[in-house]
Amino acid sequence: MRFHHASVATLIVLAALLSMRSSTEAQGQAHAVILITLDGARTEELFGGLDTDVFRSTLGEKQVLEEQPAYKRFWADTAEARRAKLMPFFWRTLMRDHGSIAGNRGAGSSVTLTNTHRFSYPGYSEILLGEAHDDTIKSNDPIRNPYASVLEELRSRLSLTSAQVGVFASWDVFSAIVEHTQGALTVNAGYTPFDSPLPAVRALSAMQVETPTPWNSVRHDVYTFRFAMDHLSRARPRVMYLALGETDDWAHDGRYDRVLETYARTDEYLRELWTWLQADPEYRGRTHILITTDHGRGRTTKDWRNHGAKIEGAQDVWIAMISPAMQKRGEWRTHPPLQTSQIAATLAGWMGVDWKMLRPAAGAAIRGD
């Protein structure tokens, strides 16, 4: 009799577990979540494409705007046509059929930072913690994050291995930003070797140091993307973060043509990633993607290269979400303002974790229905 009772109890527990599992699946909670950031990507280019005033301001006296290859490639008459030339897959497929984007101030949509520093480490930390810590997180130095990130919490709450939470970043300081506990996640940031059984990927790992950028701490995004795709297909992570950097660095250098080309290359990366996810039965329809930036930049020809506490416009950012749990498509219009501090709770919520329970001061998850 005791055995009988025990097995009935076991069955009841099993049934309860199974129904919990199916109800979380039914609510659209995901198999996987992917965070993507484009460093310092202004709302001006994202929503309006090529900015003629800025482009012209970067040219020498004898250079003609209309003759520049990047102008010929990316110019069009309307903001909608220009941005689609810059990021055709993002606008004509992702945002039209699968997701939505907030942050176009011209459409009555506002997304801002809550940190007041308006540069990278505080921006990424706000994204990953759901709260600004202006007093303690106030430099871009590679100082280990004093707080556990949403990536680390997802790993422990979902009982994932470190290989199942992968971070691939062009900027080396990400090793310090994304983890409070060193080694909790799989992190490959800056000019770091990446190992793979594939000879072609190992060749890329060797090549990254032979194709230096003008910046000591940032490698080319192509390596970051290739290593991330290799990790995705072999380790099959549940949580992945792809942090691209060139949109910011070329802007600091005043190379507007390269800024534009970077957006277009990034769009190709998004297309490849999306195509891969759609071809995989485990990820297709069960993967949530959030794309955003760590800060904006100045709005004028005088300050578009820069960002920081005193630069007007650097507080304006944007958030794109492609999620089976969200019905909204295209651009958000006239809604209560959103903030970067809401991203951590949004990512965690998609994976069934209540971030506000863990961090009561964090911003609330974004609802897209």
Binding site for Zn ion (CB under 5 A): 40, 248
List the one residue out of 155, 121, 151, 126 whose CA is nearest residue 138.
121
Contact 111, 103 (CB under 8 A): yes
- Indicate the residue whose CB is closest to Zn ion: 248
Beta carbon of residue 219, minimum distance to Zn ion (angstroms, whole number): 16
Residue placing its CB nearer to Zn ion in the complex, 154 or 218: 218
Query: CB-hemisphere CA count at 13 Å for 244?
Result: 26
Beta carbon of residue 368, minimum distance to Zn ion (angstroms, whole number): 29
Residue placing its CB nearer to Zn ion in the complex, 44 or 248: 248
Beta carbon of residue 40, minimum distance to Zn ion (angstroms, whole number): 5
Cα–Cα dist 318/102, whole Å: 6
What single letter denotes the amino acid at residue 351? Answer: M
Beta carbon of residue 58, minimum distance to Zn ion (angstroms, whole number): 17
List the one residue out of 70, 102, 110 whose CA is nearest residue 264.
70
Beta carbon of residue 118, minimum distance to Zn ion (angstroms, whole number): 9
Which two three-digit tokens encode residue 101? 């984007």
Residue placing its CB nearer to Zn ion in the complex, 219 or 231: 219
Residue placing its CB nearer to Zn ion in the complex, 179 or 294: 294
What single letter denotes the amino acid at residue 302? Answer: K
Cα–Cα dist 133/115, whole Å: 7
Cα–Cα dist 350/357, whole Å: 15
Residue placing its CB nearer to Zn ion in the complex, 111 or 173: 173
Beta carbon of residue 307, minimum distance to Zn ion (angstroms, whole number): 6
Sheet strand arrangement including 330-331: 186-189, 165-169, 239-244, 32-38, 287-292, 319-322, 100-102, 330-331
Residue placing its CB nearer to Zn ion in the complex, 296 or 349: 296
Please, what is the angle between helix 343-350 and helix 150-157, to 10°?
20
Beta carbon of residue 117, minimum distance to Zn ion (angstroms, whole number): 11
Residue placing its CB nearer to Zn ion in the complex, 34 or 176: 176
Residue placing its CB nearer to Zn ion in the complex, 141 or 369: 141
Which two three-digit tokens encode residue 258? 């390269």
Beta carbon of residue 230, minimum distance to Zn ion (angstroms, whole number): 28
Beta carbon of residue 47, minimum distance to Zn ion (angstroms, whole number): 20
Residue placing its CB nearer to Zn ion in the complex, 83 or 305: 305
Q: Which region, left, alpha or beta, applies to residue 345 given φ > 0 means left and ψ of -120 to 50 means alpha?
A: alpha
Name residues whose C-beta falls within 8 Å of residue 241's C-beta, 6 or more positions apart in sequence: 34, 35, 36, 37, 151, 166, 167, 168, 169, 178
